[in-house]
Amino acid sequence: MALNLVAPDQAKAQLQTLKAKRGYLLPHHGLLALTAPKLLAAYDDTYTALTLESRTLDERIKEIIWVGILVATNEGIAVHHLRRLTAAGGSEEEASAAIRLAAFGRSAPAFKFVEDHWKKSLSTYDREIAYTAALEALCYGQPIEKGVIEMTMAAVHTCLYQHWELALHIRRAYKIGVPELALAEALSLTMFPASVPYFVEACGVWQKLIKEGQVPASESLRAWAEIA
């Protein structure tokens, strides 16, 4: 089978356009430009709609959530999100808070471990109470808003495939009035760094909560929850 790479000049032109939009290039951009330019264009359109274009979240909040996602997924290459946070008026203190939230998310299985193995020896132990008490202690004096904490934790647990914790934070987000559109955007940011399948599973967790009446969902999302 004879295969031809895209002409270098053609690939270079596509990459120049991409760099002008984003301000940077990553290794996969060049490979796709030379081997699958249509895929690169579709990928860029999706990435643009996902994170570059404004939807519901303001840029500062979005980048705080991104920091949490990147720490949860060990995504060191995406350091440009720290620059975006600063450009959006965020601070290093807020970035540090998001890092602590992601680190806490990674520690969440410890609470399940105690529930699974030591519950009989700790008669008063309650996993949810223990988890939320630890989180509230961590968040005392944090520089970021409660709603942003809930969205960040929901995104972090999506990345870590921790559905019990994800469901908890979706319920907490509703309780404090986080808009559904904002929560949906926060979860959608996990699609590339965590994987689309993990995002699909997270949507299923939310859908199940609605079906079971555990959250006061809007009429539109209740209709979504009834889709098989």
The 10s digit of each residue's pLDDT in 144-189 is 999 999 999 999 999 999 999 999 999 999 999 999 999 999 999 9
pLDDT(22) > 70: yes
* Placement of tokens 């760094």 in the chain: 193
The proportion of the chain whose per-residue pLDDT surpasses 90, expressed as a percent, equals: 89
* 50 Cβ neighbours under 8 A, 6+ residues apart: 188, 189, 191, 192
CATH fold for the domain made of 57-225: AhpD-like (1.20.1290)
Contacts of 135 by beta carbon, 8 Å cutoff, 6+ apart: 104, 153
Q: Model confidence at 52, in pLDDT bands (50, 70, 90)?
A: confident
71 touches 63 (CB < 8 A): no
Q: What is the pLDDT of residue 228?
A: 63
* Residue 4 pLDDT greater than 90, yes or no: no
Tokens of 86: 């600063």
**pLDDT value, residue 227:** 86
Query: So what's the pLDDT on residue 148?
Result: 98
The whole-model pTM stands at: 0.92
Where exactly are the structural domains of the chain? 9-15+26-53, 57-225
- Type of residue found at 21: K
Q: What are phi and psi of 25, to 5 degrees?
A: -130, 150
pLDDT over 70 at 16, yes or no: yes
